[in-house]
Every structure is written in structure tokens, then in C-alpha cells.
Structure 1
Amino acid sequence: MPTSDQNPSMPNRLRLSVVRDTAIVVSLVVLGLYAGSAFLIPLTMALLINVLIIALSDRVIALTKAPVWLANLAGVTVVLVGLFMIMYILGNQATQFARSINTYESQFDEAVNRINDLVGNDITAFIRDNLVNIDMSFVARMLLGSATSLLNQFFLISLYVAFLMAERLAFRKKIRMAAGDPKTGAEFALVLDAISFSLQRYVGVKTFISLITAGISYVVFKTLGLEYSETWAVLTFALNFIPSIGSIIAVLFPAAIALVQFESIGPFLIIVFGCGTLQFMIGNFLDPAMLGRSLNMSTFLVILALMFWTTVWGLIGAFLSVPLTVCILIIFSHIPALRPIAILMSLNGELGDEGPPSGNTV
């Protein structure tokens, strides 16, 4: 009888211990992410860049039948040169923008007055009360600090990428050797192949879509004669990795500069409606069509991920929030024990289970 009285309490104690252990592990992970940000941010960027390089080199092999070493070299060169140019443009023009920020602040009142007749006094008062009070010098310093930090870390990121590419093929062999059992090693290698393929597809397609958006936006900016066109194009590219809010910010900043720079309202309207329509069309039609179910994430999860990674890693975390969360979702979806969590993270419970083409390797 005492035994039967004690048995019902065992599952409860077990559940409580699981909850306790899970809370401890999650707390340690979050603390580790925050405390180790200086080390983890360059490493995370290197891993995502490595995935992009592999996707590009595989595409080169498929199109040209080039040797693997030549395709890898081409992928490394294109991606790292492009990354360096992006960081150089941001660092250089952010410095110029920070130096001239006082000029823009003094001209903003005049710009608000120019649109008074167009939108009415109520909206003008709202713009004056909310936008004029924004500390633009703080924004400029924050962007300048982030761009300079990335430029300073470029060598470290390049070093990580070089070693990751050097161990790409050896890694599969080490996995099979570490597994001990050949069957277990082969199954684990197949899971890695599926994860690698999904990540390559997401990062590659998202980068391609962002390049299209940034390229068209740059043509518009340059045609209008907008100052710092290169910077706004680069920010458009980066901000497109942040869903919904990123595309809004990508239109808002250049539109505000156009409002201040030009005496007429025309360039401002062209950027707002032209680039805004472009962002809407790509975000709602081209993006889902090319990504398919790779970004089948809950909308609440997207906002939650944005807030979490921004809190932990700052502005860089905002840019990396969705790619990192998508990576986690994809990895969880290919691990049977974690697949229920991936289903909860998804929008409708459906996961893209597409695997790698035959012969694809990590």
C-alpha cells in the first residue's frame, strides 16, 4: 500500500525536475550568448558566410563543371570581396554622415514645413512632435560604431571562413570516424547533408533577393541624386534580412534624407511609393515564391526572435535574428527528438522536408 501511494507522485517530481533542468540550461545558454558576444558574433557571421560560399561554389560547379577547388576559390573571392566592400562603404559613408548630421537636423524643420500644405496640420504636428525629437546624432554614432566594429572584425571573420572551407571535406570523414558504427555515421552524415542543403538554400536565395532589392533601390537613389546612395543601398540589402520592419526602415531612412536634401516633395514621394511598392511586391510575392516553405515561421516567433537577438547582441543581432532562427528551425526539423519544437515554431505546422540532391555534401 505505501508503494502505491508513492507512485503517483513520481511523474510529478520527474516533470518538475525536467522543467528545472530545462530552465537552468536555457538560462546558461542565454547568459553564454550575452557574455560571449564578442567571440560568438564573428563566428556566427563566419558560419553563415561559409554556408553562402558553399551554395555559390556548388552553383558554379553545376553551371560550369569546374573543379571543386576552383569553384571554392571563386566562391570565397566573390563573397569576401563583396563583404569587404559593404563594410568599407558603411564605415566610410557613416563617418561622413556623422559629420554632417547637424546640417540635416537644422534643415528638418524646413522640410516639415514644406509638406504642411500637402498632408495637413494634424499630420505635420505629429511628424514635428515625434521625428524632430529623435536624436539623429545618437543614431549616426550607433551606425558608425557598428560599421567600424564589423570592419575591424573582417580579418577575424575571413580567418574563420578560410579554416571552415579547408576542413569542409575532412569534417565528413571525422564525423564517420567519431560515430564508431558505420551505419550510425552514415545516418548522421545524411542528416548533416539535409541541414546543409536547407541552410544553403535559405541563405543563398535570401541573399539573391536582397541583392535584387538593393540594386533596384540604388538605381532609384542614384537617378534622384540622393546623397549617400551607396549606404542606403547597402542598408536596404542588410535590412531585408529583417522581415516586415526591416523593409519599412529601408524606405524610411532614404525618404527622410530626400525630404531634407531636396526642396521639392517629388523625390520623397518617389522613394516612399516607388521603393515602398518594390519592397511590398518582393516581400509578398517573389520572396515566398523562391523561399517556399523555408521561412515557414510563426509571425509571433519572428517578432520574438527579433527582440531576443537584438537584446542579446544589439544591432548586429537584429540583422542576424531571422537567419539564426531559421537555422535553428531547420536543424530542429531534421532531428527527430527536436522536431516537435520545430513544428511549434512553424506557422502552420508544416515543415519543408526537402532533402539535398544526390551527391550533395556538407
Structure 2
Amino acid sequence: MTSSTSRNALVMIAVVIGGAAVYWLSEILTPLALAIFLLLMTDGLARGLVRHARVSEKVALPAAILLITLAFIGSVWVIIDGAAGFFTKANNLSARLDMVIADVAGMLHLSVAPTAHELVQRFEFERYVGVAAKGVQGFASDAFFVLVYLGFLIASRNGFKKKTDSLFPRDEDRAEAAAVFERIRGGVEGYLWVQTVTGVMIAVSAWVLMMVVGLDNPGFWAFVVFLVCYIPVIGGAVAGLAPPLFALVQFETYTPALVLLIGLQVILFVIGNFIYPRMQGENQNIDPVVILLSLAFWGALWGVTGMFLSTPLTVMAIAILAEFDGTRWIAVLLSGDGEPYPRTEEERARKVETA
């Protein structure tokens, strides 16, 4: 009992110290984590080009690197350009905001409705807008370091095999380490595939709806909807509420905002309840409560970047914890069905029979 208690206490202390170190080193670790994330995407895309497009292995990796780099740079440009356009038009929306506030005050039976300027001064919205603008600027600067990290990671890929052979001299240990890596890569790539496909479906449907309604910058908002689909829980709320809120300010009537709200909720409901579960399969065998806690934990440590990476990091943690007898119970608690990554033939057969 003393040994078990001491071991559990040491584990808890190590987790707390590790979390503090990850938080203090966030400015260094977040670009590196994103670079590793992009490296996995690049590797998966290269293998996909070889398997499905019949591209040679020598051409597949450079083509994948070029596509991922262009997509990443394009994403940064769309975000910065769209945010700049939004902040430029924000100064011309005060009159419409006053009308919306007056209508809401009338519904609440308030005798005197505050103006938008008064609300801005009372709640210090200017400070929050400044923080948001600073965050966009920081995202652009971090993007440069992400690409630098990605370049060095790709350049060092050739040495991974030699390092693995030196770390695991025995064939059994090396095979076991390779199996763990395959589980991590398969889980992360499966998660990326499902989120990307469903995100494209939601973004395209939302873009068509916003074009029909006539919302300004529909391409920017569709791209924002696509990006937030990678954030569990919060992403759906942002995708379903952000465009209607800005339609509420843009148009003279409330009908376009109501159409956007209902239409986006229908899109999210259909894809989230019928298409997403069928595509998900076993790629994300995580308990829903764990997804929420992981989102809060990594969001507190690394902000928005942590929210984006919360689920892939949890997939990696489950794959590693499930490999060792002393920590497998943690992986069992984190998994959705209580059977994370079966290691033996009996476990695999039992999981197939259960499914």
C-alpha cells in the first residue's frame, strides 16, 4: 500500500510539474506542436498520393510539402485579410447596433436603451478588440516559426529510423515501438480525415446559404466555419452563431439572421448526427467527457492552439498509455468503449464481437 500510494503521489506531482512546464514554455512548444501536426498531415498526404494517385514516392513527399505549405500560407492570408476587412467595417456599424439594442431593450421593457458607444465604454470592448487584433498579429508571426520548425522536422526525417534502432536495439522492442507509432499516426490521421471532410461539407453548405442571404465576406466566414470544426464542442457553437450575429448587424431586418440561424443549425444537426458518426468509426475512441476536459485543459495551457490540438493530443496519450500495463487503466478510463487499442488477438476478437 505504501509503495502504491507513493507511486500514485509521484505520478500526480509529475503531472502537475509537467503541466506547469508546458504552460511556461507555451511560446516555444505551440509552434513546434503545430509543426508536428503539419508533419503528420504531410506524411499522410504523401502516402495518399502514392496509394491513390499513383504518384512515385520521390515526387509524393515534395508535392505534399508544397500543398500543405501553400494551404497553410493561404489560411493565414485569408484570416488576416478577413479580420482586417472586418475591423475596417466595424466603425460603420454603430448606427445599426443602436437600432438592435433599442429593439432588444423594447422587448425587455427597458425605458432607456443604452447606445453602442456607451456599451463599448462600459464593458471596455475596445480593449478586447485590441487583444483580438494582437492575437491575429501573433498568429501571423507564429505561422513563420511553424514553417521553420516544419522545415527542420522534414529535414531530420531521415535520421528517425537510425534513432529508433539505437533506442530499441532488440527486434521485439523495436516492433512494439513501431506498432505504437502506427496507432498514434492512424488515430491522428483518421481524426484529421473525418474532421476535414465533415468540415468541408459544413463550410460549403454554409457558404451557399450565406451567398443566398447576401452576407458580406461569405468566403471568410465559410473558412472560419471550416477551421472551428476542428475544435470540439465550441466549434459547433461558433459555426452556428457567429454568421447570424453579424447578419443581425449588417441587415436592416432580422429575417436574414433568422434564416442563417435556422439553416446553419439544420446543417450542423444533419452532419453531426447522421454523417459524422458513420465516418468516425473507431478513429476517435474517446469518452465525450474526456473530450470536454481535454478541450478545457489544453485551452487553458495553450489557448486557441491548444483547443485545435486537444483531441489529437488525447488520441496520442491514449495510444501511449494503452501500451504499458501500469498505465493502461488510465487509457481505459479515457476511451469511449473501455477497450483502447487492443494489443492481443483475444482483445481484438472480443472488440469485433462487441461491435
- Bin for the TM-score computed over the shorter chain: 0.7 to 0.9
CA RMSD across the alignment: 2.8
Report the number of matched residues. Answer: 337
Matched, 1:80 2:69: yes
Residue 168 (structure 1) aligned to one of 157, 160, 164: 157
Counterpart of 1:121 in structure 2 is 107
CA contact (8 A) 1:175 1:185 kept: yes
Counterpart of 1:147 in structure 2 is: 136
Letter in 1 for 2:138: S
Rounded to whole Å, the distance in 1 between the matches of 2:104 and 2:14 is 54
- Using the TM superposition, name which of 316-325 and 299-308 deviates more: 316-325
Shift of residue 108, structure 1, vs aligned partner: 2.1
Q: Assess if the C-alpha contact under 8 Å between 2:295 and 2:310 holds in 1.
A: yes
Residue 27 of structure 1 is aligned with which of 7, 11, 16? 16
Query: Aligned equivalents of 2:47 and 2:197: distance in 1?
Result: 15
Letter in 1 for 2:170: D
Alignment map for 1:259-298 (pairs within 5 Å):
259-298=248-287
Check 1:48–1:68 CA distance in 2 against 1; reply closer, same or farther (3 A cut): same
1:153: Cα distance to partner? 2.0
Change (3 A) 1:105 1:252: farther
- Residue type at the aligned position of 1:251: G
Q: Output the CA distance in 2 between the equivalents of 1:196 and 1:330.
A: 10
- Which region of structure 1 is more displaced relative to structure 2, 177-186 or 27-36? 177-186
Aligned pairs for 1:1-362 (under 5 A) are 11-12=1-2, 14-112=3-101, 121-122=107-108, 136-351=125-340, 353=342
Counterpart AA for 2:288: T
The change in CA–CA distance for 1:23 and 1:191 in structure 2 (over 3 A counts) is closer
Is the CA contact (8 Å cut-off) linking 2:35 and 2:150 kept in structure 1?
A: yes
Q: Name the structure 1 match of 2:351.
A: none
In structure 2, the CA distance between the partners of 1:115 and 1:350, relative to structure 1 (3 Å rule), is farther
TM-superposed deviation, 1:113 = 5.2
1:4-33 CA-to-partner distances (Å, cap 9, x unmatched) read xxxxxxx23x23322331122112111111
Please state how far the C-alpha of 1:336 moved relative to its aligned partner.
4.6
Shift of 1:231: 2.8
Report which structure shows greater RCO (CA 8 Å, sep ≥6): 1
Structure 2 counterpart of 1:60, one-letter code = L
Structure 1's 96 and 149: CA in aligned 2 closer, same or farther, altered over 3 A?
same
| Contact kept in structure 2, 1:94 and 1:143, CA below 8 Å | no
C-alpha distance 176-232 of structure 1, shift in aligned 2 (>3 A): same
After superposition, the C-alpha distances for 1:90-135 in whole angstroms (9 at most, x for unaligned) are 112212323433433442231355689xxx935x97xx99x97876
Aligned CA distance change for structure 1 residues 59 and 163 (closer, same or farther; 3 Å):
same
Mark the CA change 1:171 to 1:164 in structure 2 (over 3 Å): closer, same or farther: same
Q: Return the letter of the residue paired with 1:265.
A: Y
Give structure 2 stretches of 5+ with no counterpart.
345-355
Query: Per-residue deviation at 1:339?
Result: 2.5
SS of 1:153's equivalent in the other structure is helix
Distance 1:15 1:178, change over 3 A: closer
CA distance in 2, matches of 1:105, 1:336: 61
Output the CA distance in 1 between the equivalents of 2:324 and 2:227: 30
Instruction: Say if 1:331 and 1:144 are closer, same or farther in 2 by CA, change over 3 A.
Output: farther
* Amino acid in the other structure paired with 2:225: T
Distance 1:137 1:76 in 2: 40
Cα pair 2:294 2:310 within 8 Å, conserved: yes
